[in-house]
Amino acid sequence: MENYTQLCVWPGTLLGENTIDEMEKWFLSELGARIKYHTQVQTLPDLDTEGNPVPDTGGRNDVFFYIHSDDIQAFAIKRFAIGIRWWEDVVKYNDNRHMYAEEFLEANPTTW
């Protein structure tokens, strides 16, 4: 995993019948980015103003992967077209920590 430094989130994405290898090859051929799959998680419910779970929210599947540090600059703009976000943008700068289990947050700290 050396040089795969930036954790990315692809919200609302299911791999479905695709394999991890197919996903990694697709990113390279279509976006010119070398990636390494990390994991998939389902989001927790949104919280109301009092901190209570909002019914019928959460359960979205998010795919996580790392991008090679040499490919970050070229990928930074391309990612917007398919809704990929930097992990830091999701949890640190946009305060969406509530969407992920504490264990997941601890295992995947922000790097910037």
Domain boundaries, the chain: 4-107
Q: Where does 16-71 have alpha helices with state H?
A: 20-31
Which residues, including other chains, have CB under 8 Å from residue 15's CB and lie 6 or more apart? 23, 40, 63
- In CATH terms, is domain 4-107 a member of 3.30.70? yes
Under 8 Å between Cβ of 52 and 28: no
Q: Residue 19 in contact with residue 68, Cβ under 8 Å?
A: no
pLDDT tier at 110, thresholds 50, 70, 90: confident
CB 26 within 8 A of CB 20: no
Are 8 and 66 in contact by the 8 Å Cβ rule? The answer is yes
pLDDT at 111 over 80: no
> What letter would DSSP give residue 80?
G
Query: Tens digit of pLDDT for each residue in 45-85?
Result: 998 999 899 999 999 999 999 999 999 999 999 999 999 99
